[in-house]
Amino acid sequence: MVARLIERFRTGVEQAVGAVLAALLGLLLCLVLANVVARYVFHAGFIGQEELGIWLHLALISLSLPLAFRGPLAMRFDVLNRLLPEQARLCAEVLADGISTIAALVLLSGAVGTIASIGGMSPTLGLPEWIRFAFVAVGAILLLLMLILDRLAEKKHLRLAVSLILASFFYWGSRSVQFETEWSPSIYMAVLAGVGLLSGAPLAHAFLAAACLAMSFRSSLTEPALVSSTVNGMSRFLLLAIPFFLLAGSLLTLSGAAERLVTFAASLVGHRRGGLAQTVLLTSVIFSGASGSSVANAAFGASTFQPQLVRNGYPPAQAGAIIAASSVLDNVIPPSIAFLLLAAATNISVGSLLAGGFVAGALMALCLAVAIRLSVKGGASRKVASVRERWRAAHAAIPAFGLGIIVVFGIRFGIVTPTEAAALAAGFTFLLALAGKRRGAEIFSSLRQSALEAGAIGILIGSAAPFAFLLAVDGVSEQLTGLVHAFGSSPWTVLLVANLILLVAGLILDIGAAILLLGPILLPAAAAAGIDPIHFGVILVVNLMIHGLTPPLGILIYVVSGVTAIPPADLFRAALPYLAALLVALVLLCAGTLLF
């Protein structure tokens, strides 16, 4: 009876938070679209619109904390856990819960401390500045509540009690115990984050807990400073483009326009050797202009193409590997969330990065097409489409093409900002969904899921900020730059060493975290060697996106595995030819950068 009441209460909290997240994303979309209309139609604008958008986005990220610590959005490295014996796995799960508890405690305590000391009012909104930190405090409380409810509903009372005791012990210890050591705090922070990652804790929680526990090793970050750094990392208007792009991709699929893109792609390449696989690839190239999310495309492709590929004679693992490899393109070909993250971390031009993404994406697609042709033994999946059939397919796909035009040309020619372009894309797909007579419940579900995904990305961005700050304070940037130049200062040497660092880092770091942490460090080293920052930024993103296919993290492999139920190990093996093709594309990009 008690367990049933707990489960009912937990479900109610989930539904309430989900509804608030959907409402916040809808409000954000209306706010940005209204400002675009006011600026271009009435040549006016709303005072404080940008800051209000940042505050609402911060509220969305904070309130997603209780829902984003479960499932794929938690970005857990749980491969090791599955290999451990039962008792060791239970210990790792207790440790993971303890790390999540420490993350919630530091966010709550740091936010409360900041609220008590901060003063002033927002110059454009006329609201007290402490409200921003109140969002974080509420999110931290909800995270703790949801973690407790989950374990009680699962009847894991002992696990819950032990994790709470351990978390309290280490959290209060970090505030009162100081160790004298010759090593810099950032070394301990990195080790602690690694322990958290190996335990299976959410990546963002591992970052926050490590930054908190590093205070015992003379870290210069106090709790209020840690939370302020986290909030500042999430408080950028450019980051509002992420939830809008995610929503655009979700609504494009919901409206049926994504299926028409598939039909158009099949009419162009379906008759070639491995035609259905080539259709998957071409669809990814086209669909990337809508979603900007490799994960979104991997989930879409796994549910849409996997059954068709298997029915046409493709081995299940190979079919899944082709879908995962093709999905890499979505974070390279504009619009790209990865490029938005890099631009936010380094302040380089988003428009120039997107232009470079076209070239890189085309080269990667070409290399994958060759790999598919060489690795697939089957013949064509359909007859050659007539000109009439291709024209009909193209005509049906025009609405989806319009989405790409809005985004790419709007940003590239400076007509709208990336955030405004993303909002226009989301508004456009919303109209497509309405034209497709989709129910309100389906649109609400897209809003909720997109808000939750954006919140998980935002939490990762915020948690990486204090991590990056401490690395900078401890001079890790200069040390890594020195390491890059230790092998020589010529452009080709710097590019080679930087790529090797990225290839190794991508094996153990989430793609977004690697961009946020290594982008600001490696970019100055490349610029000092005479390498164009835009070219290097594109290479950095391509290098790290390849790790969507590499163990142990390989997020795209796990997304496809989750949808298709194919063991990840089988998918990793089947992806080797396509991984090799992407590495060839990376080498060609580097060669082109040095030659031109």
Render pLDDT for 398-429 as a digit per residue (tens, 0 to 9). Answer: 776 666 676 666 666 667 777 888 788 888 88
* Longest CA pairwise span in the chain (Å): 76
In this structure, the answer to whether residues 346 and 203 fall within a common structural domain is no
Q: Give the pLDDT of residue 413.
A: 64
Residue 284 or residue 115, greater confidence: 115
206 in Cβ contact with 214 (< 8 Å): no
In this structure, the answer to whether residues 185 and 214 fall within a common structural domain is yes
pLDDT band at 50 (very low <50, low <70, confident <90, very high): confident
- For residue 178, being part of any structural domain is answered with yes
The mean pLDDT of 337-363, rounded to a whole number, is 83
Name the residue range of residue 568's domain: 239-438+474-595
- For residue 446, being part of any structural domain is answered with no
In this structure, the answer to whether residues 134 and 40 fall within a common structural domain is yes
Q: Give the pLDDT of residue 303.
A: 63
Q: Give the pLDDT of residue 59.
A: 94
Q: Give the pLDDT of residue 4.
A: 80
The mean pLDDT of 38-48, rounded to a whole number, is 75
Residues in the chain: 596
User: Of 189, 209, 235, at which residue does a domain stop?
Assistant: 235
Q: What is the pLDDT of residues 51-70, one digit of tens each?
A: 888 999 999 999 999 988 87
- For residue 458, being part of any structural domain is answered with no
- For residue 492, being part of any structural domain is answered with yes
In this structure, the answer to whether residues 291 and 178 fall within a common structural domain is no
pLDDT band at 164 (very low <50, low <70, confident <90, very high): very high
In this structure, the answer to whether residues 483 and 496 fall within a common structural domain is yes
- Say how far apart CA 137 and CA 227 lie, in whole Å: 10
Q: What is the dihedral of CA 20, 24, 30, 32, to 10 degrees?
A: 180
Nearest to 572 by CA among 596, 547, 542, 536: 547
Q: What is the pLDDT of residues 366-382, one digit of tens each?
A: 999 899 888 887 545 55
Alpha-helical segments (H) within 76-125: 79-83, 86-117
Radius of gyration of the chain (CA): 24
Count of domains forming the chain: 2
In this structure, the answer to whether residues 329 and 266 fall within a common structural domain is yes
In this structure, the answer to whether residues 243 and 231 fall within a common structural domain is no
- For residue 467, being part of any structural domain is answered with no
Cβ-proximal residues to 18 (8 Å cutoff; 6+ apart), any chain = 67, 448, 452
Place of tokens 């209460």: 9
The mean pLDDT of 515-537, rounded to a whole number, is 85
In this structure, the answer to whether residues 180 and 113 fall within a common structural domain is yes
Q: How many helices (H) and strands (E) does the chain have?
A: 28, 0
The mean pLDDT of 181-193, rounded to a whole number, is 82
pLDDT band at 142 (very low <50, low <70, confident <90, very high): very high
User: Of 235, 270, 299, at which residue does a domain stop?
Assistant: 235
pLDDT band at 288 (very low <50, low <70, confident <90, very high): low
- Say how far apart CA 195 and CA 98 lie, in whole Å: 12
| Range with the poorest average pLDDT among 95-109, 190-204, 224-238, 402-416 | 402-416
Residue 265 or residue 130, greater confidence: 130
In this structure, the answer to whether residues 340 and 318 fall within a common structural domain is yes
Cβ-proximal residues to 379 (8 Å cutoff; 6+ apart), any chain = 273, 275
Q: What is the pLDDT of residues 106-120, one digit of tens each?
A: 999 999 988 988 877
Q: Give the pLDDT of residue 383.
A: 67
**Around Cβ 376, how many Cβ atoms within 10 Å?**
23
User: Of 214, 235, 256, at which residue does a domain stop?
Assistant: 235
- For residue 193, being part of any structural domain is answered with yes
In this structure, the answer to whether residues 163 and 41 fall within a common structural domain is yes
Q: Give the pLDDT of residue 295.
A: 66
- For residue 450, being part of any structural domain is answered with no
- For residue 401, being part of any structural domain is answered with yes
Residue 227 or residue 355, greater confidence: 227
The mean pLDDT of 319-334, rounded to a whole number, is 86
In this structure, the answer to whether residues 267 and 401 fall within a common structural domain is yes
In this structure, the answer to whether residues 356 and 246 fall within a common structural domain is yes
